[in-house]
Amino acid sequence: MSDSDLYSRLLFPKMQGYPLFHPQPFDDLPEPARRTGTEIGDVGLVTQEGSFDPIFNILRAKDDPANRFGVPPAFEPVSLGPEDIATRTLFHLPGSDISNTTVNKKRIDVEAGIEDNVFVPLGAGAVVEVSTSSKQTALLLLPDGASRWDLRQQRVFRDYALKHAPNWYSFVNGDLGRMVGNGDLYLVTGVTKSTTWSVAAVENHSGEGKVALRLKAGQIGSAGASRAWEWESASSSVDSGPRRNPGEELWQDNQTVFLRGFKVALRTMSLRRPKALSIVDSSWSDVSSKGRFKFFAESQPQFSRSANSLSQRRPNTGSSTTSGSTQASDDSYFSNVSASKRRPVKRSELHLAFSPSQYRQPVSP
């Protein structure tokens, strides 16, 4: 298992969305896209390295720089108002950490600063030690906190994806030659972004004692790239960012640490009756599975559509949950959206459940 797979698998049950091991935007994106990072409305791929690779944006005009590769056939931009996006500034406070296990953070050079934030004050020689006793640890550190944006009108994007999914795959695999597997396209409906971050995916193979990692203060505003914190040991299992180019030092909240949205797929087998998944039915394997590449021609037959969700599993509050129930929530994240061949699907047969889990249990037929 790769470091990015380990990281995403362990943090997925934290109910924040799809965890990206490499939150920084690609360097070859247009400057406006690098300045803002991943946006609601982006359609793209989660790479094997744990980055998000945007291809086009359904909220942007056809000739917008965000749509630098072009747009699919019959492209129709979606219009939203400011009230359609829920904004939560500093949803994660400065100094926060998100992990699958208990971790200890300790400032080595000085006492912790304001409100026990070990990342302040930041100065030359600053060192933070992070330790854990777990066999497998995924860790996200947010020295400056992180903010969150979520689409309120989830159905608008869901219906749009069901309508245009065949054209998306035709465009991505035909015009762009990307050889994208069926089910590997994501439509983003929510993002959590930070200004700085550090990630780690660590395995304690001995199973004894603690694993300790250290972060040190890096240079800021130098002639080259800059980072606020960096790991002392260079390894593929850890990373820090952002790596800023000259003139980018003041950019904020463009590092995407979590994604939420729909995972879009075309059904290729005989249609089976869709059903709403219970909150314990979805699994990490459903979200992370990679589809097999198949070329979808523009002249393919008319598709009917069905939807199955892979979203958030809520903590057990002691109350019982009825199998097959659905619950809409702006906290829902990546849902499977399928476009299926053959028998048309009645409108009433479309179901969407907004609550998945890392566990799989049978669902009563």
Residues 22-33 pLDDT 10s:
999 999 999 999
- In a domain, residue 126? The reply is yes
| Average model confidence (pLDDT) across the chain | 76
Res. 305: pLDDT tops 60? no
Which range has the top average pLDDT, 34-48, 258-272, 344-358?
Answer: 34-48
Q: Is 70 part of a structural domain of the chain?
A: no
The residue range of the domain holding 126 is 92-145+194-254
Q: Tell whether 129 is covered by a domain.
A: yes
Average pLDDT over residues 323-340: 46
Q: What is the pTM of this model?
A: 0.77
| Residue 213 maps to a domain | yes
Count of domains for the chain: 1
Tokens coding 258:
């979590």
54 located within any domain: no
Q: Grade residue 290 by pLDDT with cuts at 50, 70 and 90.
A: confident
Residue 96 lies in a domain: yes
Three-state DSSP string of the chain: CCHHHHHHHHHHHHCCCEECCCCCCCCCCCHHHHHHCCCCCEEEEECCCCCEEEEEECCCCCCCHHHCCCCCCCCCCCCCCHHHEEEEEEEECCCEEEECCCCEEEECCCCCCHHHCCCCCCCCCCEEEEEECCCEEEEEEECCCEEEEEECCHHHHHHHHHHHHHHHHHHHHHHCCCCCECCCEEEEEEEEEECCEEEEEEECCCCCCCEEEEEEECCCCCCCCCCCEEECCCCCCEEEECCCCCCCCCCCCCEEEEEEEEEEEECCCCCCCCCCCCCCCCCHHHHHCCCCECCCCCCCCCCEEEEECCCCCCCCCCCCCCCCCCCCCCCCCCEEEEEECCCCCCHHHCCCCCCCCCCCCCCCC
Asked if residue 216 is part of any domain, the answer here is: yes
Distance CA 365, CA 342 (A): 22
Residue 111 is predicted with a pLDDT of 61
* pLDDT at site 44: 96
